[in-house]
Structure 1
């Protein structure tokens, strides 16, 4: 255990944030080293003359900032934040917290009932080969028509192309990046991108370049400038409102980016995790530039989180490589869950749940507009979240911390930022991750924090 201790004479209100700052400085100055165990909550509270709850909040904030990690039964340990990427969401759901940090669909009891009944029916009727085989071409022989039908619902006519079935969008991202980019190469992406892309690229030895954005996403002239200045091999995209800033790309913008990709020979990695959720979408890049596009869509954000299956289309000349990358990272997708996805596509359950989700999210977005009033934010009327830029001079970290102190968890924009310069402060707020009443309450707290300083009651903690 470390011998360094915070100075109680330097604590100021709110005490837990002051404590976090002292720990942060000690780590930056080398007074605390990677792997050192911090004092127990009770011990530090006794030594500093503060409450155990205050220490618990400080340690939780250290973990959120990537400066500490908790191990059940062992304690809390120093972790150098630069070595690991902190997720934007709180790691565990706490009963008293309104969690607007985790991106989830709106869910009711009927979703649980549908999944349980579907899983039981599928388990009882699965063919023997789906239970006993290790060979994906045997297990998934009957899945291809359903996958192709679902891709057509997403605006793609895949013809007779092969479709890979992966364990959700995260596995599809990994397969696509590993196939398109060798170590040492560079991928471009929106300056605010999918949070898992950043640590994945770092683990694989791939450089990430963030491209400036507007309300439609990547600005073509900025992308072309980066291509001229550096050796960009691929471009990762979230064109349909699923990115943290809810940017939605027009057909003209997509066509301009497809032209740049062809001119500079870029692979395109199109993350369409929401699939057909957003109605009346422009054609995907997989239609505009099929020869160079890795496209994947999944079910977790539009049906139920447990349906962790994605369909991945790969440029035909890289199909064998993609199959091998999937083999070494996942072997093959879970046959039980894949079978349930196939069944829901065939019998219409997936379509029904998508239609229901559209309507539910539209209601949530109307509630958000009513609560936030004149506060400027971006969202899509059928989207799972909204993006709230913070006014100039407001600290993103402080805003997130004060919201958490008031019992609301939100996702900091810095968790999604891929640029070399500090990111403009902003927060992502999920509208589907909790009940409608809790959402309105949480948004009300966010609105009050946005419009003014924290209430005096906060400063007594």
Structure 2
């Protein structure tokens, strides 16, 4: 058992969180090595004159962060292995934390009222097939036709026959990956990319290969070189503002990526979680390479979080594989939620809420520009977040820990890293809380950056 120095005078309320952050820093800077056994709860509590409950909550918080593991009968240890894919956000809101870590659209009472009205409408004229059928081809013909209308708003012209209804983007990603790559296959993706892709690929037995990115997204020459060096089967890409660095890829870059994919016979999985939200963006990659692109979009980030349904547009040659994978993993999308989405697309409610969201995010981005003045960061005027590059991994760990200690949760850049190269940064969600809390959280972020004696920022 190893004891280490805890600065008792630096413990602040909530004490359990402050204690957890000190242990976190000790792990990050190497004072607590992997495999180190921590003091029993009571021993540490007595030495610091704290309650056993406080120490227990601190240990539980560190277990939740993936830094400790409890072994029955042996004790609590620093986790020996990095978890596969760290969550960039806190899974639940604790106490008075201003949560700028989870990527959410702006939501107001109006959204809840719309959902209540939709549910009331369903109670009045629910189609029998939505409640009573097991068969997708019985339930969803009308939904697929409406989905094709929505996809045209996203810039994609596709037959209803080629649309698969899913339970959101994650389900669409899973089905697409299973359809284009077998166990052991290599999937290329952005060096800073989707936070769930790393664990998802690991669970599916796929190998991720990180591709260099620049201010326009994936570098085509880097993707080409990777394909020549390894047997890449597919490329997963987020070209339209949902990616952590807020890049909206140019039409020229999309054409270049499509050309590399054709040259190496790659499947393209395009995650377009913002759909028609960003005005004036180029057409999807699927429009440049329709014969090989599986296009994923959903409503959770642009309409409301509870509308957990989406669309997967599929080329003819992959349709059978996608249909089979969908059946064995989900069977069908949840009919009730899909029915609400279909009605909202058909009557214009969905696009009305997208336009509302666009305006709300423009206002939130204006708040960010005002509060983060003098701080180099990346964002899109209609995007959900801001990306602040930092100068080192130590700066990132310190920033996240200190922000949390001051009552603000932000997402660490390491959660989005798919390659070995370090890309220290933090992601700030702008839609996850009220505008008042957003201002307060950004004020803390700004003060933290400007008050630290060590350099934190990396000039863009």
In structure 2, the residue matched to 1:453 is: 452
**Would the aligned equivalents of 1:187 and 1:206 in 2 still touch at CA under 8 Å?**
yes
Q: Distance in 1 between matches of 2:375 and 2:435?
A: 20
CA contact (8 A) 2:240 2:248 kept: yes
For 1:44 and 1:334, how far apart are their aligned partners in 2? Answer: 49
Contact 1:129/1:139 (<8 A) preserved: yes
Deviation of the 1:218 alpha carbon: 0.7
Relative to structure 1, the CA distance from residue 285 to residue 161 in structure 2 (aligned partners, 3 Å threshold; closer, same or farther) is: farther
Offset of 1:56 from its aligned partner? 6.3
Q: Is the contact made by 1:97 and 1:409 (CA closer than 8 Å) also made in structure 2?
A: yes
Deviations 1:381-431 (A, max 9, x none): 00000100113575211110000000000000100100123x221001000
Distance (Å, rounded) in 2 between the aligned partners of 1:402 and 1:303: 33
Change (3 A) 1:377 1:31: closer
Q: Cα deviation per residue 1:360-389 (whole Å; 9 max; x = unaligned)?
A: 000000000000001100000000001001
Q: CA deviation at 1:110?
A: 0.6
Q: Deviations over 1:346-372 (max 9, x none)?
A: 111101100000000000000000000
Residue 240 (structure 1) aligns with: 240
Question: Match for residue 459 of structure 1?
Answer: none
CA–CA distance in 2 between the matches of 1:70 and 1:357?
43
C-alpha contact (below 8 Å) 1:64/1:86 kept by paired residues: no
Shift of 1:29: 4.4
Counterpart residue number, 1:438: 437
Aligned partner (choices 10, 17, 24) of residue 20 of structure 1: 24
Deviations 1:73-131 (A, max 9, x none): xx988755524322100011123000000000000001011111112212432211111
Q: Does structure 2 conserve the Cα–Cα contact (< 8 Å) formed by 1:59 and 1:68?
A: yes
Q: Tell whether 2:369 aligns with 1:369.
A: yes
SS for the counterpart of 1:355 is helix
Counterpart-to-counterpart distance in 1, 2:164 and 2:133: 17
Distance change >3 Å, CA 238–CA 255, structure 1 → 2: same
Equivalent in the alignment of 1:158: 158
TM-score of the superposed pair, with normalisation by structure 1: 0.89
Contiguous gaps of at least 5 residues in structure 1: 456-461
- Deviation per CA, 1:120-165, whole angstroms, max 9, x where unpaired? 2124322111111111111112212210100000001113542110
- Residues 33-62 of structure 1 deviation map (CA, whole Å, 9 limit, x = unaligned): xxxx9855x774234324668646743652
* Deviant stretches of 4+, over 4 Å: 8-15, 21-29, 37-40, 51-54, 75-81
SS of residue paired to 1:275: coil
- SS at structure 1 position matched to 2:300: coil
Task: Report the CA distance between 1:219 and its aligned residue.
Answer: 1.1
When structure 1 is superposed on structure 2, of 60-69 and 335-344 the one drifting more is: 60-69
- Mapped to 2, the partners of 1:402 and 1:54 lie a distance apart of 19
Indicate whether 1:307 and 2:320 are aligned: no
Match in the other structure for 1:226: 226
Matched, 1:195 2:191: no
Which ranges in structure 2 are unaligned for 5 or more consecutive residues?
12-18, 455-460
Aligned to 1:338: 338
1:29-178 to structure 2, matched below 5 A, reads 29-32=34-37, 39=40, 44-50=44-50, 55=55, 58-59=58-59, 62-63=62-63, 65-68=65-68, 80-178=80-178
Secondary structure in structure 1 of the residue aligned to 2:169: helix
Structure 1 residue 266 corresponds to structure 2 residue 270: no
1: CA distance, partners of 2:226 / 2:9: 45
The answer to which of 127-136 and 339-348 deviates more is 127-136
3-state secondary structure, aligned to 1:189 = strand
**TM norm structure 2:** 0.90
The CA RMSD measured in Å over matched residues stands at 2.6
